[in-house]
Structures are given as C-alpha cells and as structure tokens.
Amino acid sequence: MLEPRNNPNPSYIVDPPRLLRFLMARALGRVANTRQIAKKRAAAEKKRRSEGRAHRVEYFHQVDDPYSHLMAQVIAQFAQCYEIEFVPHVIRASGGRNQPEQEKLAVWARRDCGLIAPQYGLSFPDDAGIVPQASQQEAANRALAKLGADEFLARIESISTALWSGISIESDRTAATAAEAHSALDEGSARLAELRHYSGAMLYYEGEWYWGVDRLFHLEQRLRDLGACKQPEQPYVVPRPDTDVSGVDASDLDLHFFPSLNSPYTSIIFDKTIELSKTCNINFHHKPVLPMIMRGVAATPTKGTYIFFDTKREADFFGVPFGKHVTPIGEPTRQAYSLLPWAKSLGKDIELLSTLLRYAWSEGKALHKQKNLTQAVEEVGLVWSEALKHLGSDDWKPFIEQHQDEMVEGMGLWGVPSYRLCGPEGEHDLEVWGQDRLWLVAAEIRRRAGLCSSDLQQGTARERDDRQHRQ
C-alpha cells in the first residue's frame, strides 16, 4: 500500500501545517548548525577543564545487538589509543516507537553486520543466528554486569565472541547473580534514556552520540582535536572506507537506488550515488519511494533529532551542505512526485529530484510553495507550463508503490536510501540500507567488476584457443 489508512504518526506530522514546518526548520536548524555545534563543544570542553574531569566516554553494550559485537572487537583498542575515562554499561533493547519492527530490525542488523565486518577487518560467525539463545544472553550479561572498566575492556571481545559463536559462557567469581545482572541492565537502560538515546553499540561523549564502528571515527577525530590521542600520527582505529570506483567498468552490473525526498540521509548521498554510477558506467535504476513517515513507520522527536545531527556530521565529512531546510513531508512530496514520470520521460527525473533535495535540505526553499517547485523545474531545463499538465495527477502512484513493494517486501528493507546491486550471474544480490553503505556498494562493485573482467578474459582466451584448434 502506498500510504496506510491508519498511519501511527499523527496527521500533523505526516502533513504539517505551514507554521509547524517553519517551527521545525527553526528548531532542527539549530541542531544542524556548524557554528552552534562548535560553540556547544567549546562550552563542554571549558566546563570539563574547570571541573578537572578526564575525557569521559560512556559505552552502552547490548549483548543481542550485532553492532555491539562489532564494537566489542575494537573498543579496547580505542580506549588504549586515547586518554579517556571509559565507563561501560549493559542495556536492553529499547523497543517502542524508537525501535519499531524489532523482529525485522534484528534480521537486518544481523545481515548487515555480516556484510560489513570483513570490510572493517572484523569478524562475525557465519553460523550465528539472528540473536543468541536467551540463556546465553543472560550468561553474557551476568559475566559483564559487575566488571569494572579495565576488566570489561579485557573481556568484552571474548565474551561477545563466545555468545555469538554459541559457546557456553561459564560463570566465575566475577559473575553477577541474575538479580544483579537485571539491576545493571535497568541502570544502563535508564542512563541511556536519561541521555536521550535508544540504541546499543552507542558511545556518548560530552553531549554527542557515536553509533558503533560506523561512527567511531567521528569520536576519534573529536578527541584528536582536543589533544587526547596518545599517538596522533597513527591511523584511526576504524577509518571510514572510501567509495572510489575510478577505472572500474561495471557495465555488466545493475544498481537499483531507492531514495526519498524527505530523507536527510538521502539528501547528502544522492548526488554522490549518481556520480558513482556514472564513474563506473553501471546500469542505474532510479526508484524513489515515499518517506518512511508517510509509509507508516513510527517516528519520535528523539530519533529525529539524533538523525538530523548525525546527518549534519556526515555531511560535513563529505563536504556537502546540509541543515538550512524546510521539510517537504506530505503534500509537497506528493506534488513533487507527480512530476517524476513526466520528467523521466524526458530523461530529467534524476536531475529534478537532486534539485528538489538540494532546495529542501541545504537551501531552505519550501517546496509547499509553488514558486520554488517552478524554479526547480525550470532549473533542470523543463517547462513549467508543461509541468502543470502533470502536477497533482495520480500517474506517479503505481510506480512509487511498485518501488516500495520491491524494497520493503522484496528486499526486507524499509529505510532510505537503500541499494540493490545485481550481477554477475551466480552472485547473490547485495541489498543494503543507509547512506553509510555506499562504500560497501563501491567495494562490491570493484570486486564484481573484477569477476566480470576475469570472465571476459577467460572467454577471450577460450575463443582464441578454439580458433587455433580449428585452424
């Protein structure tokens, strides 16, 4: 279904009135303001110094969370490389509106971590289930609950590896009782909620959150900027992989791209995805979907604020403008999407969506105002009087619904942007979600294009041998 009849999100969120769009832009604009972020960091550092505190990093470990297992493999090295006071917590899954579709989320997280682990030089047991057995989870929590910071760092990797490998975790003198473990989980989960977050594998430092191995380099950079790195000439513990596909011929591969107009993450990676596809000459399939909120995926202010801040941090890393915005959720998205089939017939749908994303998320041009929609259409070389013939029609709905069915039902993904990489024959499709998975798509393109090149060379050699044999 394109939009559910009973959307769990309030109607004023799905289709905000103009005043609310303005207020949201003001509030979240401060969250994503580079100057404001720098001021908050400076104030936090000034307060830390005045109180004589160490660089205190809190870590929240969730034993049944695959991302926490990846963190377990690097957290000790991270703590060793930086002058920090490390404070570990064990937590439960938050659930609720911050983590809807928990069963689907568990399946996705397990699959995703299996894909990214080798790329980061880490491991994930091939035969691990979606989550470890409940009795083993309890044993792991009991083994961790009473450990001090040093003992936690010394033992977390072995305990987590045993848990996910199905190896029995034996109790010893340091193990907590069941009651003590439950109390520690209550305390850790309460601390996570107090600091306004909801996920495992999270690091908290002076007002900011860092998620798992994917965001660890942001915290490393912040600590380096503060002079807290013991050996600054050494590389990051977990650097971000690159997305370079220059010199790669991927013309035998297909890349399906599922963006959304109301996705902050999509807005910062859309043009980079298009650039990657052109660089390697891959067969590109542009498949926009409706925003998650319009599709009935629950959203909360806590989650929205974190996503907005995280997008800004990622945008700065990529060198992409972001933050001056007016949300295009609701009717502006429907109106914009009504123009996409027409724009596609003229080879302009990708360029038009790129322009609309830029207007909405980095230039602060409200798409509920027709003058801005007109400007976007004309900027890409289309004629507004022709666009008016299609504006508000329902021609777009079957296409967008088909894209959503392919992504949600076919791929088991619900977030955007999502990617599906296909080919060569014999290779399973790579299906991933998130702007921070474009590097994985790039790595797979390089690998798969190499297989295609190898097959071509072998085929050419066979043809040459056949000709020589016939002669």
Residue 312 pLDDT grade (very low, low, confident, very high; cuts 50, 70, 90) = very high
Lowest-pLDDT range of 388-392, 426-430, 462-466: 462-466
* Dihedral Cα 446, 452, 457, 462, nearest 10 deg: 160
Single-letter residue type at 107:
V
Top pLDDT among 173 and 147 is at: 147
Residue 464 pLDDT grade (very low, low, confident, very high; cuts 50, 70, 90) = very low
- Report how far residue 109's alpha carbon sits from residue 115's, in angstroms, rounded to the nearest whole number: 10
The architecture CATH gives domain 39-225: 3-Layer(aba) Sandwich (3.40)
How confident is the model at residue 101, as a pLDDT? 73
Question: Do the Cβ atoms of 91 and 62 come closer than 8 Å?
Answer: yes
- Report how far residue 230's alpha carbon sits from residue 221's, in angstroms, rounded to the nearest whole number: 13
How confident is the model at residue 465, as a pLDDT? 54
Residue 99 pLDDT grade (very low, low, confident, very high; cuts 50, 70, 90) = confident
Q: Give the burial string for 56-82 (b: 16+ CB within 10 Å, else e).
A: ebbbbbbbbbbbbbbbbbbbbebbebb
Instruction: Give mean pLDDT, residues 313-335.
Output: 97
Percent of the chain residues topping a pLDDT of 70: 96
Residue 217 pLDDT grade (very low, low, confident, very high; cuts 50, 70, 90) = very high
Confirm or reject CATH 3.40.50.720 for domain 254-448, answering yes or no.
Answer: no
How confident is the model at residue 457, as a pLDDT? 52
How confident is the model at residue 470, as a pLDDT? 47
DSSP per-residue codes, 62-115: -TT-HHHHHHHTTHHHHHHHB-EEEEEEE-----GGGS-SHHHHHHHHHHHHHH
Judged against a pLDDT cut of 90, whether residue 64 lies above it is answered with yes
Judged against a pLDDT cut of 50, whether residue 252 lies above it is answered with yes
Question: Do the Cβ atoms of 173 and 143 come closer than 8 Å?
Answer: no
pTM for this prediction: 0.93
- Residue 272 to residues 24, 137, 411, Cα–Cα distance (Å): 27, 40, 23
Instruction: Give mean pLDDT, residues 21-49.
Output: 96
Judged against a pLDDT cut of 90, whether residue 95 lies above it is answered with no
> Which are the contacts of 110, defined by CB distance < 8 A and separation ≥ 6?
66, 128, 129, 130, 131
Q: Where are the CATH 3.40.30.10 domain residues in the chain?
A: 39-225, 254-448
Indicate the average pLDDT of the chain: 94
Instruction: Give mean pLDDT, residues 59-77.
Output: 98
- Residue 351 to residues 251, 355, 402, 459, Cα–Cα distance (Å): 21, 6, 21, 38
How confident is the model at residue 453, as a pLDDT? 73
Closest CA to 143 of 164, 126, 158: 158
Q: Where are the alpha helices (DSSP H) in 246-348?
A: 264-280, 301-318, 331-338, 340-345
CA 429, 433, 435, 436 torsion-angle sign: negative
How confident is the model at residue 70, as a pLDDT? 98
Instruction: Give mean pLDDT, residues 357-370.
Output: 98
Q: Give the burial string for 316-325 (b: 16+ CB within 10 Å, else e).
A: bebebebbeb
Instruction: Give mean pLDDT, residues 18-25.
Output: 96
Percent of the chain residues topping a pLDDT of 90: 90
Top pLDDT among 97 and 441 is at: 441
How confident is the model at residue 469, as a pLDDT? 47
Phi, psi of 84, rounded to the nearest 5 degrees:
-130, 160
How confident is the model at residue 96, as a pLDDT? 72
How confident is the model at residue 467, as a pLDDT? 47
- Report how far residue 465's alpha carbon sits from residue 471's, in angstroms, rounded to the nearest whole number: 10
User: What are 260-304's pLDDT values in tens digits?
Assistant: 999 999 999 999 999 999 999 999 999 999 999 999 998 888 999
How confident is the model at residue 298, as a pLDDT? 85
Instruction: Give mean pLDDT, residues 91-120.
Output: 90
